[in-house]
Amino acid sequence: MKKEFSLLLALVLLGLGGCRSFDPALLQPDKTALSVKMPAMDTRVENYGLQLFIYAQDVGAIFEREVRQNLTDPYTEKKGSIVLKLNITENRAQMGYAFFSGFFIFIPNLFGMPMFGIITSLEVQLDVLDANKQLIGSYTGTGKRRTAKGIFSKGPKYRDFVRVNFIYAFRDALNMAREALAQDIPRLNERLNK
């Protein structure tokens, strides 16, 4: 009896330690800083896709760190501001997996088929404003992530995988906008330093 109880307890403990809730390293920007940076700037986030802005803190943290670490020289005088405009175009669950799984009594899920999925699409616009609040540059990027979650899923083992999916889509969009901004840095610096 003790042997069976010990085996059952070991199985339960193994099952409980399977996934993390969230990894704070996801809120760090990419490691590659621009070779030529802009002067220090204020940051502001505007949201047009209000349906999922429960992740406003994540977006603000990633954006502020990206600007401070990669886009600007924080040790100079502030010469303007960068405004992030976020528009969430799609954020929905894929329930087709669940219907199919339920039809077959969830047996396919034991062999690796996902139970459900999530699709997140968003657009990011970076507006660079000078000290007089005049627009001197606008750069856009899009991000789309599709993640499926199953019992034995490969990939990130996060319980809050909807949040992780959103962060990855946001980072993709921000990186696309950043690449466009990087090509225009000499012109922006000239306008900001007038």
- CA-CA distance, 59 to 84, in Å (whole number)? 9
pLDDT, tens digit (0-9, with 9 covering 90-100), for 43-90: 988 876 555 566 778 888 899 999 999 899 888 999 999 999 998 888
The CATH number that applies at residue 34 is: 3.40.50
Number of separate domains in the chain: 1
Range of the structural domain that residue 42 is part of: 2-192
Q: Which of 54, 68, 36, 59 is nearest to 143 (CA)?
A: 59
Directed axis angle between helix 161-182 and helix 56-66, to 10°? 30
Q: How many residues does the chain have?
A: 194
pLDDT, tens digit (0-9, with 9 covering 90-100), for 134-170: 999 999 999 999 888 877 766 555 567 788 888 899 9
**pLDDT averaged over the chain?**
81
pLDDT band at 133 (very low <50, low <70, confident <90, very high): very high
| Backbone phi and psi for residue 180, each to the nearest 5 degrees, phi listed first | -65, -40
